[in-house]
Amino acid sequence: MMRSGGTDQVKYQLYQDSAYSKPWGDGTNATSTYAGVGNGATQNVPMYGRVLPQTTSTPGTCIDTMIATVTY
């Protein structure tokens, strides 16, 4: 995540479960992908985030963009 109006970054990891044991990713480096079966209806996919240990950055609003690739 990048601090809005600055260059400070906050490192984080996204997970598929609240126990933070299944990291989201592309299936490499111990990360997981999500597999499901489409049924024509909206499906919610859980996502949990955890800020990684790091030096404290300047206080402010942090923003980032997540991109999901759906293959069907």
- In tens, the pLDDT along 7-49 reads 888 888 999 999 999 888 888 888 888 888 888 898 888 889 9
Q: What is the pTM of this model?
A: 0.72
Domain ranges of the chain: 1-72
Cβ proximity of 36 and 43 under 8 Å: yes
Distance, in Å, from the CA atom of 64 to the CA atom of 3, rounded to the nearest integer, reads 9
